[in-house]
Structure 1
């Protein structure tokens, strides 16, 4: 859920009880607000387990479309099991509210990170995109189209892993000979065929993810305009500015994902093999001679081809310095020093 206006309804009580199981939860901090509900961190009292509870007033479920959307999310998400898709742990109701008990992603969303950072580096985008494509490949493999992929629906866990969330608009792919022509999703991320009511199938998810990649790398969406008709005209033309700072492989990736014709867009499996994602993963294996330096001229830094194995929590609010464990080992080895393992012991000898 993203910041917004959930209305003036009072929050639920400090303690929430699942009458079906007798489980008691304590309500914690507000995580976000959407158009029809709020999301809170909750703690299961007996076990101490943490969850994210999406709380929807029961009165709102009667509104046109909202009840169907919540039920669709519950029905679809309860069957999904993938490390990069937010897991639904359960649901229950009380007199005033309906609750979806979800996996907690305590670092917020990529939209939150972009608000704090402005934009991300290419290694970070590569790190997140691999995980998102893995989750999207799973969804498409199960015949599902998300229909609302965007940074605010990419949620980050305590360990800095990213997961696809909010399946409220998800739909099963249309059977052969049919198409879902509904206009739904976030305007700036809608594919041309969706605007033209030619169907909202898996390629529309690739388009939306391409818009998200562009946004993460540049700090703004590829298609922007003050008025909807102009925005939709720019989307249909598939013309967008490319900042000079992007690498050729990043430009090529975006161009592949933002093809105006749906059939020309590669699926998640092919995108995972794109040169932007398969280029050199560990820059230190090339040795330390000629290693690029940061702006201070002291620390070796990773070129754009580097893919980090993980990201530090500080990456949520500031640019991380890419001097990883493996590069540091190679630097020490090149200086005649003995590398040290994370546990503090000596690293095993390297074979040559």
Structure 2
């Protein structure tokens, strides 16, 4: 298999290798699966709109060689492979794209300045029909981490959530809306699980100017904002991301999603009403931050930049107040979405 180096496929980032033939690679149906995150850290129906499919070999499931790399599919992360550089011994992760879409998928990396909480591309290998994008190895995702811990202490949650908000703010400042924002999108870059990074920008939305109006309805139902479910018009992508940040923080602190129902229509109805409960034991500052993000009116939510200066990050006194936060809003019609069954999570 011949190798040709092509310099700077993404300006200022990395080189790519080109191969004259492709070897088979394990099936990876989508890079941003939505079915794995819905529910009460338990179970719930799938995404309103599913992610884009990748056309790769549907039968090959074992290890495969791509140049000097050995790829092994990760069963819990569709579309992602564990990769070993046989020349250097370095462990990486690899994502596989069709040739017709990979340049658009990685375009955001060339536009966004580097940030310590956002994963970077290490290498790209080009085949005849597929592109193999390599990134640094990670040590598991936040969804799995919260599931295994049941819930996080405020001290730990504040350290990790600050990194999440910092990455989101950096994207927003760079003209990028993340859209399908959820715990699974953040992975640990160290074995001690203290440092988080956004695992990829493949499914983000690149803004053409200051206007962040969007019409896209991709996303995980547990994290989708009320205005997206309303339908019939545009919504602010950054404000929808802020709602998702609120869902992430709630899940980290409480150990379940703020809105849950096994029936998709009921789930969407709860989200649109914005009704959720805060359990005993959360500090007033944590309650304040959650309520400032999980606001039904998008214009009333904190921005990612405002989240970073919230007093909760300066102290986590475990004072208690009213345990429930109920917003009584009129029942609204739930829009029709095609949903897929989800695996059991956080059970």
Q: TM-score, structure 2 length as denominator?
A: 0.68
Match of 2:250 in 1: 214
Structure 1 position 260, deviation (Å): 1.1
What are the superposed Cα offsets for residues 271-302 of structure 1, whole Å, 9 maximum, x if unpaired? 1111111227xxxxxxxxxxxxxxxxxxxxxx
The equivalent position to 2:132 in structure 1, one of 91, 95, 99, is 99
Match of 1:172 in 2: 206
Is 1:146 the counterpart of 2:178? The answer is yes
Q: Aligned partners of 2:86 and 2:224: how far apart in 1?
A: 42
Matched-pair contact (CA < 8 Å) for 2:282–2:318 = no
- Taking a change above 3 Å as real, the CA distance of residues 183 and 29 of structure 1, as seen in their structure-2 partners, is closer
Structure 1 position 31, deviation (Å): 6.4
Is 1:90 the counterpart of 2:123? The answer is yes
What are the superposed Cα offsets for residues 183-211 of structure 1, whole Å, 9 maximum, x if unpaired? 11111111112222332411111110110
What are the superposed Cα offsets for residues 214-250 of structure 1, whole Å, 9 maximum, x if unpaired? 0111111111112222211111111101111212111
Give the number of the structure whose alpha-carbon radius of gyration is greater: 1
The equivalent position to 2:64 in structure 1, one of 14, 25, 29, is 14
Match of 1:310 in 2: none
The equivalent position to 2:144 in structure 1, one of 109, 112, 131, is 112
The equivalent position to 2:157 in structure 1, one of 125, 137, 160, is 125
Match of 1:231 in 2: 267
Task: Name the one with the larger helix percent.
Answer: 1
- Taking a change above 3 Å as real, the CA distance of residues 177 and 150 of structure 1, as seen in their structure-2 partners, is closer
The equivalent position to 2:92 in structure 1, one of 46, 51, 68, is 51
Q: Secondary structure at the match of 2:145?
A: helix
Matched-pair contact (CA < 8 Å) for 1:128–1:162 = yes
Structure 1 position 259, deviation (Å): 1.1
- Taking a change above 3 Å as real, the CA distance of residues 174 and 227 of structure 1, as seen in their structure-2 partners, is farther
Matched-pair contact (CA < 8 Å) for 1:78–1:89 = no
Q: Secondary structure at the match of 2:165?
A: helix
Cα root mean square deviation, aligned = 2.7
Q: Aligned partners of 1:264 and 1:232: how far apart in 2?
A: 20
Q: Aligned partners of 1:200 and 1:183: how far apart in 2?
A: 12
Match of 2:325 in 1: none
Taking the TM superposition and a 5 Å limit, the aligned residue runs for 1:4-83 are 8-11=58-61, 13-17=63-67, 24-28=68-72, 30=74, 32-34=76-78, 37=79, 39-56=80-97, 58=98, 68=101, 70-80=102-112, 81-83=114-116
Match of 1:245 in 2: 281
Q: Aligned partners of 2:184 and 2:146: how far apart in 1?
A: 10
Q: Aligned partners of 1:173 and 1:32: how far apart in 2?
A: 31
Q: Secondary structure at the match of 1:233?
A: helix
What are the superposed Cα offsets for residues 34-64 of structure 1, whole Å, 9 maximum, x if unpaired? 2xx3x222122333332111135x4xx7xxx
Q: Aligned partners of 1:228 and 1:205: how far apart in 2?
A: 21
- Taking a change above 3 Å as real, the CA distance of residues 114 and 176 of structure 1, as seen in their structure-2 partners, is closer
Matched-pair contact (CA < 8 Å) for 1:146–1:205 = yes
Matched-pair contact (CA < 8 Å) for 2:95–2:132 = yes
Structure 1 position 29, deviation (Å): 6.6
Q: Secondary structure at the match of 2:278?
A: coil
Q: Aligned partners of 2:223 and 2:212: how far apart in 1?
A: 23
Matched-pair contact (CA < 8 Å) for 1:55–1:100 = yes
Q: Aligned partners of 2:211 and 2:255: how far apart in 1?
A: 39
Q: Secondary structure at the match of 2:106?
A: helix
Is 1:162 the counterpart of 2:206? The answer is no
Structure 1 position 8, deviation (Å): 4.1
Q: Which runs of 5+ in 1 are unaligned?
A: 18-23, 62-66, 281-302, 306-352
- Taking a change above 3 Å as real, the CA distance of residues 200 and 72 of structure 1, as seen in their structure-2 partners, is farther
Structure 1 position 265, deviation (Å): 1.1
Match of 1:192 in 2: 226
Flag the structure with more relative contact order, 1 or 2, with Cα contacts below 8 A and sequence separation at least 6. Answer: 2
Q: Secondary structure at the match of 1:26?
A: strand
